[in-house]
């Protein structure tokens, strides 16, 4: 069957990782657009507060306490969507966690936990959604990362999971397309986003972590995700800084590695600003959630790169070609001057 996605105001959307950062922004923008939402997260208190706050303004919202590493819990979330709204039209795999520290410093069990949430959580949600959407159509939107294009020092486990999510999403897309399931599959790749991630991540560095600039507000990711819920897209980059980093790494991988080795660690450290200590380390248990991080940073409120990707395909190709040519020229000039 052909892919036909409903406008947002007619959709029911399941969102994992819904009480913090990008997930919270997705929920808030979705209900503002008229969609019904099933919010999924580990944080029961955060879910109850979210449901109460949005219901007061007339939003249609149901909640499900679930750890995405548990596939049965996500089946329960799908059942709640059926009970509350008769089913769902889009499923957003957004929940994620991470660590800071070298591969040797991060214990192997913590490596596995990051994979349990980021990769297997996305796999679980994708399989549950595909089974429920098959034959009726809809969208599966996976939130990956620019770090699925290139790795960054001090975040090895997280980078590895996002590379795996890239492969998972591409495989799922091909399989569903081959059987003409009528399901759109999109990978959204945020750059650095001002969420509580640095505070939530388990830290093995001697200095409080931060996200390297340029940063964008979570609404930029929500914009990309909700566009993908209503418009079939293969990939959307949320934030021009991340896209430029990816293109530069492809054009000059050795130079990108050297730059990462020189400044990658210091760019991810904020010695004088640890942020809200009540948010620290949610790898195994939920902590205080919020829309944005509490560290003092500047975050851009919009992304021209994202808006360009939302244009019709021919215009996107022309714009991308121009950006790629500029990055290639810069890389060539750097090589000549080195």
pLDDT average, residue stretch 89-117: 98
Q: What tens digit of pLDDT does each residue of 198-248 get?
A: 999 999 999 999 999 999 999 999 999 999 999 999 999 999 999 999 999
- The SS3 of residue 284 is coil
**What per-residue confidence (pLDDT) applies to 327?**
47
Catalytic hit among 100, 158, 216, 237: 158
313 pLDDT band (50/70/90 cuts)? confident
100: annotated active-site residue: no
333 pLDDT band (50/70/90 cuts)? low
Both tokens of 332, joined, read: 């060539």
335 pLDDT band (50/70/90 cuts)? low
Q: Residue 71: pLDDT above 60? A: yes
**What per-residue confidence (pLDDT) applies to 318?**
58
pLDDT average, residue stretch 285-309: 96
pLDDT average, residue stretch 72-98: 98
pLDDT average, residue stretch 248-270: 94
Phi, psi of 29 (to 5 degrees): -70, -35
pTM metric for this prediction = 0.92
Q: What tens digit of pLDDT does each residue of 5-51 get?
A: 999 999 999 999 999 999 999 999 999 999 999 999 999 999 999 99
| Residues whose CB falls within 8 Å of the CB of residue 249, separated by 6 or more in sequence, listed in order | 149, 150, 256
Alpha-carbon separation of residue 45 from 157, 287, 288 (angstroms): 29, 10, 9
Q: Residue 146: pLDDT above 70? A: yes
pLDDT average, residue stretch 263-274: 95
Q: Which domains does the chain have, with CATH numbers?
A: 8-311 (3.40.50.720)
Question: What is the CB neighbour count within 10 angstroms for residue 191?
Answer: 28
């Amino acid at each position: 069957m052909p892919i036909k996605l409903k406008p947002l105001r007619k959709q029911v959307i399941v969102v994992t990782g819904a009480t913090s950062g990008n997930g919270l922004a997705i929920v808030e923008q979705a209900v503002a657009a008229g969609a019904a939402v099933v919010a999924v997260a580990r944080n029961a208190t955060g879910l109850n507060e979210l449901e109460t706050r949005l219901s007061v303004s007339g939003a249609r919202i149901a909640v499900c306490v679930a750890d995405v590493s548990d596939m049965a819990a996500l089946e329960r979330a799908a059942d709640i969507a059926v009970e509350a709204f008769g089913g769902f039209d889009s499923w957003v795999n957004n929940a994620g966690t991470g660590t800071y520290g070298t591969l040797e410093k991060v214990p192997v069990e913590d490596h596995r936990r990051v994979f349990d949430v980021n990769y297997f959580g996305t796999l679980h949600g994708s399989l549950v959604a595909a089974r429920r959407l098959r034959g009726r159509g809809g969208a599966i939107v996976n939130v990956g990362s620019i770090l699925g294009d290139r790795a960054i020092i001090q975040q090895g486990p997280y980078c590895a999971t996002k590379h795996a999510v890239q492969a998972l999403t591409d495989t799922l897309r091909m399989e569903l397309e081959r059987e003409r399931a009528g399901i759109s599959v999109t990978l959204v790749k945020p750059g650095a986003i001002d969420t509580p991630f640095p505070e939530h991540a388990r830290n093995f560095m001697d200095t409080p972590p931060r996200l390297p600039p340029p940063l964008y507000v979570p609404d930029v990711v929500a914009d990309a995700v909700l566009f993908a819920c209503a418009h079939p897209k293969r990939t959307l980059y949320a934030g021009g800084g991340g896209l430029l980093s990816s293109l530069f790494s492809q054009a000059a991988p050795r130079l990108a590695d050297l730059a990462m080795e020189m400044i990658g660690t210091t760019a991810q450290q904020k010695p004088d600003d640890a942020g809200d200590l009540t948010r620290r380390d949610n790898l195994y248990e939920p902590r205080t959630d919020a829309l944005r991080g509490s560290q003092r940073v500047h975050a851009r409120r919009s992304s021209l790169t994202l808006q360009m990707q939302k244009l019709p395909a021919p215009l996107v190709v022309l714009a991308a070609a121009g950006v790629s040519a500029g990055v290639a020229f810069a890389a060539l000039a750097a090589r000549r001057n080195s």
